[in-house]
């Protein structure tokens, strides 16, 4: 008993010290006030959830219906065009979301819609039925393609949302996929920005190909106007067109990633002589330095002067895939559909040697040089000789963007919660008060009813709170309003465990046992009851967690953590404290204040 007593003291003492260490950053709210030791080892703290801090919680579903039906609309138009060239008299009717029916005036002409004509559509359209009597041919959009559209649209939607959210500079945004829904949480977003944020996030992504206007006099003028002392620097670039050997020279502006605002401000401020021409616009691309010099080079933004009108948009892309060039470097190969081929051929044919910017959502993802006329097939080389693995990742990302960009899938908001910061503060105050009153009542009750034992129970309960909050801090859990309710309920549970044990000890004492045996018997007999009770609550907690949307999950987390710490404090630690009470060195007490 003696030796294990000391071991336990050391163990519990260590746990308490650790818990206190984890709590310090949460108590010291300003990170800069934190001593260096904590900055290094114990930086994690409890985050306030959205309902307490204020912010936005949005759930979007990707409107696959709309994406698929526009795609089928387009296919119907293409079939219509192709068939009209063959000189048939017919009408095209769109029946369901995936269905196209073609009614021929003269039933005999239905044969004109043959396999040869349908060849370009064989991946997309299946012939469902041909009715020679009425001259009706029914086509259906391939179901595999629908699934593909869904997957790509979802992936692209998440990518674009992430890009857009990052632009707001909200701390710790959460963007997760749940089924076909996308959940966006922006704790701490400003109330006045809610409307703007929502409208920007919910926009449909646009993929465009725009030609870069290099070597313009306008750009030279702008470059000359850049002040030498600011964050913006002017850089020249040049490249040679492969076949003709034409030289291209250009200047562009660049800033370090963190100084992006300065660049956008500079561009927005261009006026008078320097005003951006009507048919031109600036585009920005975030660049990773190609050669790694000494130290870690910063990422930077660079400008392109673009022709405003998009030559081709993503709608005309048929497919994009990963591929490798002669040097074995990863690149993107894409194919255009018929209409797209014509437009792309025209655009690139006129601009060989220039750069073509791939613009997603008004941001340039890459701007390769057009090496030759592209019609139905093109390649985008990523350039750069950096980390091949990273390069490959970039290629994969771009393929994802291109493939799904071919189909605009609008986002549909299905769930929204926005909480202003003031409401959050009010909620915190009220929650704190109700929690304080509840806890005070429990503490008083335990003291009056169980005296010294009640004091032990209160001590155990305090330790329980300490451990709970420390664990929440260690996991950087967010504390929500229901989470606070969970904390209060844990007090209830702690009280229950203590009451079960104490009532048992009392029963043992009534049987005439000595305090020491009664305490041991009480704890031993009550253990399984307490344990079972905790397990069942734990089960309910797990179900809550897995069901959990937002706030409920917060409740479940505190409940689950509380169950574990409560078992530790009210069974083991308080048993140990009782052992100290009834079994002090030399004296064996004959009564117990319980």
Partner 1 sequence: MAEQQKFFEVIKSGTDIDFIGNQKYWIGASIVLVLVTFIMLPVNLYLHGHVLNWGVEFKGGTQLVVEFNKTVDASQVRDALTAAGLHNADVVKYGSESGTQAFMVTLGSVSIMSGEQAKKVEAAIARVGDASLHKFESSEGGDKIYLRFDKNVEPPTIAAALRATGTETTQIQSFGPPEDHTYEVTLIGMEGEVHKALDAKLGAGTVKAIPSVSSVGAKAGKQLQIDGVRALLGAILLIVIYVAFRFDFRYGPGTIVALLHDAVITVGAFAVTYKEFSLTTLAAILTIIGFSMNDTIVVFDRIRENAAKYRDRKFDKVVNHAINETLSRTILTSATVFFVTLAMNIFGTGVIRDFAFAMNVGVIVGTYSSIFIASPILIWLNEKYVAMQKRQAARPERNVRKPARRDEEEAAET
Q: Judged by CB under 8 A, does residue 293 bind partner 1? A: no
Sheet with 330-336: list strands edge to edge: 317-324, 330-336, 377-381
Task: Point out which span in 141-149, 182-190, 200-208, 233-241 binds partner 1 (CB under 8 A).
Answer: 200-208
CA 379 – CA 391 distance, rounded (Å):
15
**Shortest Cβ 65–partner 1 spacing (Å):** 9
Structure tokens at 521: 């018997």
What's the CA gap between 86 and 89, in Å, rounded? 9
> Binding to partner 1 by residue 414, rule CB under 8 A?
yes
Shortest distance, position 524 Cβ to partner 1, whole Å: 12
For position 280 contacting partner 1 by CB under 8 A, the verdict is no
Closer residue to partner 1, CB minimum distance, 223 or 472? 472
Query: Which of 423, 459, 521, 568 touches partner 1 by CB under 8 A?
Result: 423
Q: Which stretch binds partner 1 (CB under 8 A): 21-29, 141-149, 286-294, 476-484?
A: 476-484
Q: What's the rounded Cα separation, in Å, for the pair 60 and 108? A: 48
Residues 500-539 interacting with partner 1 (rule: CB under 8 A): 500, 503, 506-507, 509-510, 512-515, 525, 528-529, 532-533, 535-537, 539
Closer to partner 1 by Cβ: residue 192 or 243: 192
Site for partner 1 in 446-465 (CB under 8 A): 448-451
Name which of 53 and 302 has its Cβ closer to partner 1.
53
Any bridge partners for residue 236, and if so which? Answer: 251
Backbone angles phi, psi at 47, to 5 degrees: -95, 145
Size of the site for partner 1 (CB under 8 A): 98
Q: Which stretch binds partner 1 (CB under 8 A): 80-88, 142-150, 296-304, 488-496?
A: 488-496
Q: Which residue, 19 or 485, has its beta carbon nearer to partner 1?
A: 485
Exposure string for 565-579, b = 16+ CB within 10 A, e = fewer: bbbbbbbbbbbbbbb
Nearest residue to 137 via CA among 80, 97, 87, 86? 80
Cα 109-127-106 angle, rounded to 5 deg: 15
> How far apart are the C-alpha atoms of 487 and 490, rounded to whole Å?
5
Q: Which residue has the tokens 């979301």?
A: 97
Binding flag, residue 237, partner 1 (CB under 8 A):
no
Q: Tell me the sheet residues that pair with 369.
A: 355
The token pair at 94 is 């769109």
Report, in Å, the least distance between residue 504 CB and partner 1: 8
Give long-range contacts, CB 8 A cutoff, 24+ apart: 171-176.
172/47
Pick the binder of partner 1 from 434, 524, 580, 584 (CB under 8 A).
434
Instruction: Out of 403, 541, 574, 581, name the contact with partner 1 by CB under 8 A.
Output: 541
Residues 306-325 that bind partner 1 (CB under 8 A): 310, 313, 315-316
Q: Which is nearer to partner 1, 5 or 445 (CB)?
A: 445
For residues 198 and 302, which CB has a smaller minimum distance to partner 1 in the complex?
A: 198
- Taking the least distance from each CB to partner 1, the nearer of 256 and 412 is 412
Of the pair 221, 432, the CB lying nearest partner 1 is at 432
DSSP 478-541: EE-HHHHHHHHHHHHHHHHHHHHHHHHHHHHHHTT--HHHHHHHHHHHHHHHHHHHHHHHHHHH
Name residues contacting partner 1, limited to 138-197 (CB under 8 A).
191, 194-196
The interface with partner 1 within residues 575-594 (CB under 8 A) comprises 590-592, 594
Distance CA(71)–CA(318), nearest Å, equals 11
Q: List Cα–Cα distances, 403 to 56, 62, 320, 330, 580, in angstroms.
A: 30, 16, 6, 17, 70
Environment class of 227 (CB within 10 Å of its CB; exposed 0-12, middle 13-18, buried 19+) = exposed
373-392 residues near partner 1, rule: CB under 8 A: none
Contact characters 67-106, partner 1, x per CB under 8 A: ---x---x--------------------------------
Of the candidate residues 206, 233, 264, 381, the single one contacting partner 1 (CB under 8 A): 206
Q: Does 37 sit near partner 1 (CB under 8 A)?
A: no
405 binds partner 1 (CB under 8 A): no
């Amino acid at each position: 008993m003696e030796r294990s007593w000391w071991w336990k003291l050391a163990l519990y003492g260590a746990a308490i010290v650790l818990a206190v260490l984890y709590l310090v950053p949460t108590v010291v709210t300003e990170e800069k006030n934190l001593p260096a030791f904590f900055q290094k080892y114990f930086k994690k703290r409890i985050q306030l959830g959205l309902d307490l801090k204020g912010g936005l919680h949005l759930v979007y579903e990707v409107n696959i219906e709309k994406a698929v039906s526009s795609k089928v609309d387009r296919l119907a138009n293409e079939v219509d065009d192709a068939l009209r060239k063959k000189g048939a008299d017919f009408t095209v009717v769109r029946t369901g979301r995936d269905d196209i029916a073609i009614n021929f005036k003269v039933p005999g002409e239905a044969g004109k819609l043959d396999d040869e004509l349908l060849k370009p559509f064989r991946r997309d359209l299946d012939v469902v039925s041909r009715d020679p009597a009425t001259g009706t041919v029914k086509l259906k959009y391939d179901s595999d393609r629908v699934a593909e559209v869904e997957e790509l649209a979802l992936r692209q939607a998440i990518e674009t949302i992430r890009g857009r959210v990052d632009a707001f500079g909200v701390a710790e945004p959460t963007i997760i996929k749940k089924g076909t829904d996308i959940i966006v949480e922006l704790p701490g977003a400003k109330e006045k920005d809610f409307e703007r944020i929502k409208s920007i996030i919910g926009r449909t992504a646009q993929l465009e190909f725009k030609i870069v206007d290099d070597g313009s006099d306008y750009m030279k003028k702008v470059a000359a106007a850049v002040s030498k002392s600011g964050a913006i620097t002017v850089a020249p670039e040049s490249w040679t067109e492969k076949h003709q050997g034409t030289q291209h020279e250009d200047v562009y502006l660049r800033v370090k990633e963190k100084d992006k605002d300065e660049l956008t401000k500079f561009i927005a401020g261009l006026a008078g002589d320097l005003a951006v021409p009507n048919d031109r616009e600036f585009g920005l691309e975030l660049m990773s330095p190609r050669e790694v010099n000494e130290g870690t080079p910063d990422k930077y933004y660079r400008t392109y002067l673009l022709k405003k009108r998009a030559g081709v948009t993503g709608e005309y892309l048929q497919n994009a895939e990963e591929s490798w060039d002669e040097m074995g470097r990863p690149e993107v190969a894409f194919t255009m559909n018929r209409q797209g081929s014509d437009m792309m051929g025209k655009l690139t044919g006129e601009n060989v040697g220039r750069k073509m910017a791939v613009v997603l959502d008004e941001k340039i993802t890459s701007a390769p040089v057009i090496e030759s006329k592209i019609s139905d097939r093109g390649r985008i080389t990523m350039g750069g000789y950096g980390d091949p693995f990273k390069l490959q990742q970039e290629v994969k990302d771009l393929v994802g963007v291109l493939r799904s960009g071919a189909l605009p899938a609008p986002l549909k908001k299905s769930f929204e919660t926005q909480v202003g910061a003031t409401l959050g503060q009010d909620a915190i105050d009220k929650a704190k008060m109700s929690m304080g009153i509840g806890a005070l009542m429990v503490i008083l009750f335990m003291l009056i009813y169980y005296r010294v034992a009640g004091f032990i129970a209160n001590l155990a309960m305090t330790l329980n709170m300490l451990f709970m909050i420390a664990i929440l801090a260690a996991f950087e859990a967010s504390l929500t309003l229901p989470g606070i309710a969970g904390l209060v309920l844990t007090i209830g549970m702690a009280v229950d465990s203590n009451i079960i044990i104490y009532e048992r000890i009392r029963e043992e004492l009534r049987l005439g046992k000595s305090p020491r045996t009664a305490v041991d018997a009480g704890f031993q007999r009550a253990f399984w009851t307490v344990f079972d009770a905790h397990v069942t609550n734990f089960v309910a907690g797990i179900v809550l967690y897995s069901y959990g949307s937002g706030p409920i999950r917060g409740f479940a987390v505190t409940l689950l953590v509380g169950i574990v710490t409560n078992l530790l404090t009210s069974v083991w630690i308080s048993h140990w404290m009782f052992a100290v009470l009834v079994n002090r060195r030399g004296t064996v007490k004959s009564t117990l204040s319980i």
